Structure 1
Amino acid sequence: MMRSIRNLRDYPAGLPLVSDELVEFHAARLLLLLKICGGRKGQIDGLTKLAKLDFFVRYPTFFARACAERGASAPDVEPGVESSMVRHHYGPWDHRYYHVLAYLEGKALVRVTREGTKPFRFQLTDQGVHAAEQLASTELFQELVEMMRHVFAVLGKDSGTALKDLIYRLFDREVAARKLGEVIKE
């Protein structure tokens, strides 16, 4: 269950709390993802593309393999997954996306639109751009920002479907062969 930092006053002091349980942790990552991987407009078209770019940010070892396949250099980052994803119908997925995107939309940081049958468009509002710029300027997020810049440079022009196909081709055992809902391990 995700919690908000604002609602922790009643949280038992003796119980551990990890960032993965905080909506603000995921909201900050998605704001930065839209700012950095969303190009000049700060937008990503399609939940599939958003989820797959997020996958490569969250799984640096898998991103390094995708870089090798593309003939690109991978960033020098520590291996390990801070926040796991699960296997879903269209590849890696996080069930918290709906919660976090609604949170960001409710805070007027992200605009979610859809024209006809086109994929959903996720775009930073002016307030969202400002918030993402503030996050990106802090030391705390520098490693994440650099990882996102690499992901955008190597994979940012690909469609969500192309990214999904790349993941299934490169990571058959680690992703495609997993049961639906099973956690993806690096």
Structure 2
Amino acid sequence: MKTDLFSPEAEGRARILMIISAFSEQPGEIVGWAKLFRLDFLVRYPDTLINILEKRKVSQRRLSQLDISGDIESRMIMYRWGPWDPLHYGYAAHLYSRGMIEANREKRGMIFRATPAGSALAGDLASHDDWEVLYQRALLARDYLNLSARKLTELIVDSKPSISTAKFGEEI
């Protein structure tokens, strides 16, 4: 991805929007901040995504469509419960304030869904080559890894053991 074309903040907001939009299509939702953080990790670190999908017996035909090239525009940080980016809250607040996502607190946690305007913008972004790669990763995660945050964390740690030894606050 040509990261020089976008500021990291704008790219991060677009990535989060595409993840939420992908999970809102069926119709669906993302339940909880932690799940959103783990999905973002998988979209940003496609080598880990592929490793997990291979272990879950996803067809090579489907995996061969996944582009794993490109740099990560910003590293995630190890936090107590797994990978985290301190900008997630700001990204979600920006998207919510612009009417791109719904964010509602329920008993089971924060619920994220794309609005029609957010889904349309995510679709427009995904029609461009640089963004299509990220959207395809989000769709693979939706199709094969629509799991709890806890299960996603387990899969990530099993796939990338260095995460379990990272110190709090350390970039991963």
Q: Under a length normalisation based on structure 1, what TM-score does the superposition of the two structures give? A: 0.79
When Rg is computed on C-alpha atoms for both structures, the one with the higher figure is: 1
Q: 1:79 to 1:105 in 2, by over 3 A?
A: closer
Q: Secondary structure at the match of 2:49?
A: helix
Once the two structures are TM-superposed, the CA of residue 76 in structure 1 deviates from its matched residue by: 4.4
Once the two structures are TM-superposed, the CA of residue 137 in structure 1 deviates from its matched residue by: 2.1
Give the counterpart of 1:161 among 137, 150, 165. Answer: 150
Q: 1:76 to 1:128 in 2, by over 3 A?
A: closer
Give the counterpart of 1:36 among 4, 8, 22. Answer: 22
Q: Which runs of 5+ in 2 are unaligned?
A: none
Give the counterpart of 1:179 among 164, 167, 170. Answer: 167
8 Å contact 2:8–2:73 — kept in the other structure? no
1:114: which partner in 2?
105
8 Å contact 1:61–1:79 — kept in the other structure? no
Q: Distance in 2 between matches of 1:82 and 1:103?
A: 19
Q: Distance in 2 between matches of 1:135 and 1:42?
A: 20
Please say which of residues 23-32 and 144-153 is displaced more in the overlay.
Answer: 144-153
Name the amino acid aligned to 1:141.
W
Paired positions, count: 165
CA RMSD for the aligned pairs?
A: 2.1
8 Å contact 1:110–1:125 — kept in the other structure? yes
2:40: which partner in 1?
54
Higher RCO, 1 vs 2 (CA within 8 Å, ≥6 residues apart)? 2
Please say which of residues 30-39 and 48-57 is displaced more in the overlay.
Answer: 30-39
Once the two structures are TM-superposed, the CA of residue 146 in structure 1 deviates from its matched residue by: 1.8
Deviation string, structure 1 residues 88-120 (Cα, Å, up to 9, x no partner)? 1111111100111111111111111012x3210
Q: Distance in 1 between matches of 2:141 and 2:6?
A: 21
Q: Under a length normalisation based on structure 2, what TM-score does the superposition of the two structures give? A: 0.85
Once the two structures are TM-superposed, the CA of residue 22 in structure 1 deviates from its matched residue by: 3.7
Q: 1:77 to 1:171 in 2, by over 3 A?
A: closer
Q: Secondary structure at the match of 1:111?
A: strand
8 Å contact 1:84–1:183 — kept in the other structure? yes
Name the amino acid aligned to 1:106.
S
Q: Distance in 2 between matches of 1:18 and 1:91?
A: 28
1:63: which partner in 2?
49
Q: Distance in 1 between matches of 2:10 and 2:102?
A: 17
2:118: which partner in 1?
128
Q: Which runs of 5+ in 1 are unaligned?
A: 1-16
